[in-house]
Structure 1
Amino acid sequence: MIKDVVIVGGGPNGLMLACELALAGARPVILESLPAPSTEPKANGLLGQVVRMIDRRGLYERLSGTPGPPQPNSAYFMFAAMGLNLSLLEDSPVYGLPAPQHRIVQVLEERATELGVEIRRGHKLVGLSQDDEVTLDVADMDRAYRLRARYVVGADGAHSITRKLSGINFPGITYDRRTNRTAHATVPTEWVEPETGALSVPGYGTILPFLPHRTEHGGFSYAPFPGHPPLVSTTEWDQPRTEAPMSLDELRASIRRVLGADLPLGPPTGEGPHVLRRLSGGNTRVAERFRDRRVFLVGDAAHVYTSGGGPGLNLGLQDAINLGWKLAAEIRGSAPPGLLDSYETERRQAAHRMVMYAQAQAALTAPGSDVTALRELFNELLGHRNTVQHLADLTAGTDIRYDMGCHHTHPLVGRFAPDMELHTPTGAVRLTELTRTARPLLLDLTEDASVAGALSEWHDQVDIVTAQPQPTAPAATALLLRPDCYVAWASASSRPDSADLDALRAAMQRWFRPTETPTAGEETQRDLNLIEPSIT
């Protein structure tokens, strides 16, 4: 039996893609080489726009363990170990969701299983060829076998075998100057300020928690995650390479060089796994293409850069969300020409922004008096709201504006749809609750619901909701959202004219192929749906 999509890699990106495909009616299979989910400590949470996207798929409360929607960080954040005063902004785009990567994988795997996704653990891709379909050679513990699939997606990390077997080059640069040392460890309790959680190091001073700290000799961070021993980390330049196992003594010596003061570290307490690692060098690379015919790349298989963790997952998970609905539409036969090509166009733009973000921070945290002078200048600029807004948007990934194929007549077109609350005949509803099904969505907020009738031939392709916005909603009277929640069309007119409606139809034709006109019975059911939108 030919599979719709085989996803190579069962990490967060592969699982997210599988969920998106399943929501859209495709039948994905995940091949994961590990026999069980990894417990190796990696990222410590999600950061940026993807936190809101996770909420729009109904997964935020599962991951956070708390009720209610995500809240932005509206006080303080960092860029290159310099403070971003987010209180200067009217609306901070920096959202955070603390959650270890193994918990993210667990929640996404649970959701994928609920949606009927087949996950094959301990199955490794060893060969791949393409014709009208894709043939995969797979090996598990006991046998070798072949799979046929319409499409394959490599979500198998920076050393992607999918990318290599597809002949896709991975150009970029390798940094060999930096050494990062990280460990879970205990610190003297009397050195921790109970009010702020800051670490007060005698002979050096106060270091705020969770925020990178730069000195003339390197970088230091102290992260006391709840329920875990603190995560202590240093960064140094031009350290001699060693093959010796990493140890707490090595980290203590590194801290002494970076801070010029001693920090007594004890072994971690509680259940593991505990981090104790040294990373020398790093890579910043972007695949020469994100697609080779029927093979696609997402996440680290497509791009790696030296600042991983939350921003890296932000980028990779949004790759998956961007590709999922497009690939499912192609499988259903409802994709307009060029839809799959837009994946690389849009996500390469995002990848290059994140690479620039990582490289700029690396340059600004390097040692040396010249860098210190540059940081002094940057700190002056960070007193300006526009500078903080620009860097906050870059950090969160909200600076991305996709080309929707038309003149941007509304400021929201091409942007990620803002959060809003709507008044419907059945009561107040958040936009988030209307996006759980991963379908296109038309919000008709006009007084006479005049926009909904313009899409008669697309009614089975798009969910249509007529409502009234809250006073705090953005200045728009109608919005067309793609399944990834980017705005494909918007109007600010209380009575959209024929030109507005023609632009709406053009946006529909660009992103969604029209289907046959529904029957009279279907029209009646659709009218009911306009009055009482389905919320799942």
Structure 2
Amino acid sequence: MDFPVLIVGAGPAGLTLAGELRLAGVDVTVIERLPGATGESRGLGFTARTMEVFDQRGLLARFGELQTSDQGHFGGLPLDFGVLHAGAPKMIPQSTTEAVLEGWARDLGADIRRGHELVSLVDGGDAVTVEVRGPRGSERLRVGYLVGCDGGRSTVRKAAGFDFPGTAATMEMYLADVRGVDLEPRMIGETVSDGMVMVGPLGDGVTRIIVCERGQPPRRRTEPPPFTEVADAWKRLTGIDISHAEPVWVSAFGDATRQVTEYRRGRVLLAGDAAHIHLPAGGQGMNTSIQDSVNLGWKLGAVIRGTAPEALLDTYHSERHPVGQRLLTNTRAQGMLFLSGNEVQPLRDVLSELVGYPEVARHLVGMVSGLEIRYDVGAGSHPLLGLRMPRLELVRDSGTTTNSTELLRSGRGILLDLENRAQLRRRAEAWNDRVDIVTAAPASLGETSPLRGTAAVLVRPDGHVAWAAPGSHHDLPMALDRWFGAARRVSTAGR
């Protein structure tokens, strides 16, 4: 076996997965077709859920000082993310996020090879044989698992024969980051006579514009459009000439919506845009891609190390495929709102009224921020089962302080004993090679805290609560076995 895991694609999904696998103690190699980082801004900022994910791995400090905002939108309709305390950093270019993730993955020992392209693959059941073309020619390799993080035109997805149903693009939108223009800001979704336009300042003299002309069919492109096309469309829709602007980055995208029917086929898996494509809306694509990889990384690592059965990988599909479906649904809905003409204005007006109700706002914010995601971890009545563990300040017996987020830095599971129950800790001892058993008391709990009355919680490496007492309908060893594999033999000598 040449590599335990080969990841194709060094975007946010691939780099996140590389870091997660290294935390799990697995050697990983990433290949990327492009010879270097693009430096393109692409997705701007990240959601509150991704911010939590970065925080649990200690990555936020690498971004420097972050300015967060509660202002967002749904289909161009203003939305107050403060209703769920879901404020998140804005105007962070995707290139910055990728640089942070690459630095983290390399620091952990990931092998990242640029200028290497996957040519073919064959899943032989016990390994995947791949042909990779690089600067020194082609080579044939055997890898334990192959993960496609290579975007919407994924070579891995096509070569492995994944079904990718959905709808083809019906329109094309231009996006350009430009210098040397002075344009009034326009909110996403602002309609003009025959289309939609947006203007947003990115800082350092750069302005982002988006323009969509209704009735213009999408084109098959192998390269970005020339800026003249963007400037011509802008002038037709707004009457403003921006042809003198200096383009920093130009791109075109459509409203195609597709999702693979399975995220795993044998030893080949997909994450990020390789598994789902959709109309960009609120930067959800990059965030969902990162969270795909956080879900997959610890599971694939446990299977490769031999501490968990291969069946654990099936939960990657069962947990993330519904999240992808939800993503496609809400981005299609948003596209109808900000790309349609005046015929949907009554719908916009009604939805604008509904967003004024806190319950509606919380529902939409939870949907587009990812805060609503709950996995099926087994029956129970505890309100946190399947949800992410909220940040909880803790005091150990020694008097030292920590919190539940810092405890996740190592990428291991956590059994958090909140009531100093020795018997509970003994029941988990056979899993302490992969689960940290921590005894600590909450520093404080508010009246509405979902952790009031909780004796213990089992937290997966991705931060989701897998078991809680009281409240779970199965016992702790069952939960540990399900998520962390069979118990190791524990010596009883000397007891």
Q: TM exceeds 0.5?
A: yes
Aligned equivalent of 1:141, options 132, 135, 153: 135
- After superposition, residues 49-198 of structure 1 pair within 5 angstroms as 49-63=49-63, 65-66=64-65, 73-74=69-70, 76-87=71-82, 89=83, 91-131=84-124, 132-188=126-182
Which stretches in structure 2 are left out of the alignment for 5+ residues? none
1:196-254: per-residue Cα shift (whole Å, max 9, x none)?
xxx37xxxxxx46xx55345643222221233411122222113678999566654554
- Aligned-partner SS, 1:52: helix
Q: Which amino acid aligns with 1:236?
A: E
1:213 aligns with 2:190: yes
Alpha-carbon distance in 1 for matches of 2:484, 2:423: 21
Alpha-carbon distance in 2 for matches of 1:105, 1:213: 30
Q: 1:518 Cα deviation (Å)?
A: 3.7
Q: Which residue does 2:294 correspond to in 1?
A: 321
**15-24 vs 248-257, which moves further:** 248-257
**Aligned 8 A contact 1:246 1:278 in 2:** yes
Alpha-carbon distance in 1 for matches of 2:493, 2:98: 43
1:266-312: per-residue Cα shift (whole Å, max 9, x none)?
524xxxx8123444x33211012211110101111111111167211
Q: Which residue does 2:478 correspond to in 1?
A: 506
Q: Which amino acid aligns with 2:78?
A: G
Alpha-carbon distance in 2 for matches of 1:86, 1:125: 41
Q: 1:461 Cα deviation (Å)?
A: 2.2
Q: Which amino acid aligns with 1:381?
A: L
Are the structure 2 counterparts of residues 246 and 336 from structure 1 closer, same or farther at C-alpha, using a change threshold of 3 Å? closer
| TM-score, normalised with respect to structure 2 | 0.90
Alpha-carbon distance in 1 for matches of 2:137, 2:469: 57
Q: Which residue does 2:245 correspond to in 1?
A: 267
Q: Which residue does 1:534 correspond to in 2?
A: none
Q: Which residue does 2:407 correspond to in 1?
A: 434
Alpha-carbon distance in 2 for matches of 1:119, 1:381: 48
**33-42 vs 482-491, which moves further:** 33-42
Are the structure 2 counterparts of residues 214 and 78 from structure 1 closer, same or farther at C-alpha, using a change threshold of 3 Å? farther
Are the structure 2 counterparts of residues 185 and 403 from structure 1 closer, same or farther at C-alpha, using a change threshold of 3 Å? same
Are the structure 2 counterparts of residues 160 and 86 from structure 1 closer, same or farther at C-alpha, using a change threshold of 3 Å? closer
Q: Which residue does 1:24 correspond to in 2?
A: 24
1:11-67: per-residue Cα shift (whole Å, max 9, x none)?
12111101111110111111111222222342223224112101111111102x12x
- Aligned-partner SS, 1:407: coil
Which stretches in structure 1 are left out of the alignment for 5+ residues? 192-198, 201-206, 494-499, 524-536
Identity level (%): 35
- After superposition, residues 6-17 of structure 1 pair within 5 angstroms as 6-17=6-17
Paired residue total: 486
Alpha-carbon distance in 2 for matches of 1:438, 1:521: 31
- Aligned-partner SS, 1:219: strand
- Aligned-partner SS, 2:50: helix
- Aligned-partner SS, 1:516: coil
- Aligned-partner SS, 1:112: helix
Q: 1:427 Cα deviation (Å)?
A: 2.5
Alpha-carbon distance in 1 for matches of 2:310, 2:142: 24
Q: 1:379 Cα deviation (Å)?
A: 0.8
Q: Which residue does 1:411 correspond to in 2?
A: 383
- After superposition, residues 262-301 of structure 1 pair within 5 angstroms as 262=240, 267-268=245-246, 274-279=248-253, 281-301=254-274
Q: Which amino acid aligns with 1:163?
A: R
Q: Which amino acid aligns with 2:50?
A: V
1:232 aligns with 2:226: no
Aligned equivalent of 1:390, options 359, 363, 371: 363
1:463 aligns with 2:436: yes
**231-240 vs 297-306, which moves further:** 231-240
Q: Which residue does 1:496 correspond to in 2?
A: none
Q: 1:474 Cα deviation (Å)?
A: 3.6
**Aligned 8 A contact 1:43 1:308 in 2:** no
Q: Which residue does 1:350 correspond to in 2?
A: 323
Alpha-carbon distance in 1 for matches of 2:435, 2:9: 31
Alpha-carbon distance in 1 for matches of 2:38, 2:118: 18
**Aligned 8 A contact 2:379 2:473 in 1:** no
Q: Which residue does 1:482 correspond to in 2?
A: 460
